[in-house]
Amino acid sequence: MDMLVSPLPGVDRKHLHETLGKVHQNVSNLFTSGPHEYYERLLAYLDWAVDGVGRLDTLISSADLDRLVLTKRHDQLLAGVDNFTIGTTQRLVNQLVSTELRQRTEAFGDAVHTLGQELQRWQLRGVPVVADSSFYVHHPEKLEETDFAELLSVTEHPVHLLVPMVVVDELDQLKESKDRHVRWRARHTLFILDGLFQESTEDAMLRRADAEVQRHTGVRRGEVTVQLLLDPPGHTRLPINDDEIVDRALAVQPLSSREVTVLTYDTGQAIRARVAGLCDHKLSMPVGDEPEKQTTNTKKPPSKGRGVQVPADRQDGQAGSSANDSVCR
């Protein structure tokens, strides 16, 4: 299955695509027309691996680098390079190198193709925005009713809503909230998302463009598409969910070539996004008036006429101090 390579934060997607293409071309040439003598072929493959790491280690994650270049077979061939001079191993080594070159050619071909398709899709997508769970449970309008373009002041553009899986997991947890409104909103939002991605995890249409405006101007005003941000293979989530949401938004930004907006009601989430170099759109709920301070009078009330029970063993007719004494409020 084709897998998309995840660029490191700040990496230009076009530059990555070009670099992957060069590394792919080099390994493809080596596979089809490289040295035939087994040891020269082995050394040529190892040279290609070193060159590939040098080109890519500042562009993609270590997990992607291991998947594409530094595979288990690479490590085995590198570890045995000094012992592969015995005549009986020549054929085996040649087969191992040829298999690895073929698989690297296919893997890089898939990566180049998938990233190229993703780049083309991003050209058609709208303004990218990531909403956290606080938005889904606290915003006055439900997901399907929200006018995202108006909310973000981008009324002349379509909007592309990104939903990291960590947000889906948070909403799943909020289904059991003690707050009835939060519980209902979480379940409703998950119901809408499940309906959008019932048959496919590809981009889904949440809201179509204004047909009249699009017919006259070509602008897809009002359109909202939704994309699930699945965890990449081998991805380890950050301990704090807010940090994980920022991390996923940063991973998307180089692909979109646009500033990604984080939409939230939480101050901490907004600050994290801002510090990371993302655009934050902090919403707020009415705070209301400050509640009056409550005062507590700790003076004990008189026992007579206040309904205080006097222990039977008290001879002086006065109540003793106890935790059940009445307190004036």
- Rounded distance between C-alpha atoms, residue 311 and residue 158, angstroms: 77
Mean pLDDT of 201-222: 77
What pLDDT, in 10s, does the model give residues 32-44? 998 888 889 999 9
Output the pLDDT for position 52: 97
> How many alpha carbons lie under 13 Å from residue 307 in its C-beta half-sphere?
4
158 exposed, middle or buried (CB, 10 Å; 0-12, 13-18, 19+)? buried
**Per-residue model confidence as pLDDT tens digits over 257-291:** 788 999 999 999 999 999 999 999 999 987 778 88
User: Would you say 261 and 152 are in contact if contact means Cβ atoms under 8 Å apart?
Assistant: yes
52-58 LR contacts (CB < 8 Å, sep 24+): 52/23, 52/26, 52/27, 55/19, 55/22, 55/23, 56/19, 56/20, 56/23, 58/8, 58/11
Q: Which of 91-105, 223-237, 261-275 has the highest mean pLDDT?
A: 261-275
Instruction: Round the average pLDDT of the chain to a whole number and report it.
Output: 85
How many angstroms separate the CA atoms of 261 and 274, rounded? 10
Residue range 179-188, pLDDT digits in tens: 999 999 999 9
**Tens of pLDDT along 118-176?**
888 887 788 999 999 999 999 999 999 999 999 999 988 899 999 999 999 999 999 99
- CA–CA separation, 215 vs 201, rounded Å? 29
Name, in order, each residue with C-beta under 8 angstroms of 325's C-beta and a sequence gap of 6 or more.
300, 301, 308, 319
Smallest CA-to-CA distance from 169 within 228, 122, 220, 91 is with 228
Q: What's the whole-model pTM score?
A: 0.65
When pLDDT is averaged across residues 46-53 and rounded to a whole number, the result is 97
